[in-house]
Chains A and B, each alone.
Chain A
Amino acid sequence: MLDGDPRLSPCGRRGVKNRLRVLRAERGWSQQDLAERLEVSRQSVNAIETGRYDPSLPLAFRIADLFELTIEQIFENPSVAG
């Protein structure tokens, strides 16, 4: 049963949980602001935040570099998630 699985995104897809929205909000950035900093579309940022899309490793590194954090501090490792 997938219902109640904490790793499910709002749309029901099993995506990697992340803190992107929280980190973005802490800096007062809109999705568009973050998209411009990452040089991707706003749709990409929205899809990553809502768990509909898991970024590639290069994009995950760009995100981590932007927030000056490690990838693990932004994205939850699905193999160790509760």
Chain B
Amino acid sequence: MEVSPASVRFLWRFIGATIVYGLLITCASWMAKSLDPSPIGLIALSILPAIGIAASLIVVGLYLIEETDEYVRKRQAVAMLVSIGILLTLSTGLGFLQQRNVIGVVDLLWAFPAWCVVWSVTQCSMAIRDYRRADGAA
């Protein structure tokens, strides 16, 4: 399976953004725990991991702009929408259960990593489905 130059660029950028996100969230968590900041300080610290998420989403947007293969671009957009749909559906269900005290507090910090995992699984399932549908006429 060939990989487009835009995909390669996206991969490296996304790895970079994810590392930045990991560093920022680790740093923010450590500072919140060690420095006991004021509420305003905590709000300021909460921006740090959000910067990492924003960077990741900008990287995703750049990929959709730079990918010249329209079919691949469409598939990625579909995979993203499906993964967002799954995550929002799941979060709505968990939110309801949380509101009724059936489950404990769900850590919202896991939303972005969960979306990445669901996005990857969606892409894999689409690739498997396409492979099965392909008639091997290559």
A-B interaction: yes
Give the B-binding residues of A (Cβ under 8 A): 10-11, 21, 30-32, 39-44, 46-50, 52-53, 55-56, 59
Name the prevailing secondary structure of the B interface residues: loop
Which residue of A has the minimal Cβ distance to B72?
Answer: A41
> Do A50 and B71 contact each other (CB < 8 Å), given the known contacts A41-B2, A41-B4, A42-B2?
no
Which residue of A has the minimal Cβ distance to B133?
Answer: A11
Instruction: List 30 A–B pairs whose Cβ atoms lie within 8 Å, in order of A's numbering.
Output: A10-B135, A11-B133, A21-B137, A32-B138, A39-B68, A40-B69, A41-B2, A41-B69, A41-B71, A41-B72, A42-B2, A43-B71, A43-B72, A43-B130, A44-B70, A46-B130, A46-B134, A46-B138, A47-B71, A47-B130, A48-B71, A49-B137, A50-B134, A50-B135, A52-B130, A53-B71, A55-B70, A55-B71, A56-B70, A59-B70
What distance in Å separates the Cβ of B11 from its nearest Cβ neighbour in chain A? 16
Interface centre among A21, A40, A41, A55 (most CB of B within 10 A): A41
Chain B residues whose CB sits within 8 angstroms of the CB of A11 once the complex forms? 133
Q: Residue A53 contacts which of B2, B74, B134 (CB distance < 8 angstroms)?
A: B74
- Whether the Cβ atoms of B133 and A50 lie closer than 8 Å is yes
Q: Residue A44 contacts which of B69, B133, B135, B137 (CB distance < 8 angstroms)?
A: B69
What distance in Å separates the Cβ of B128 from its nearest Cβ neighbour in chain A? 13
Chain A residues whose CB sits within 8 angstroms of the CB of B130 once the complex forms? 43, 46-47, 52
- Whether the Cβ atoms of A31 and B138 lie closer than 8 Å is yes
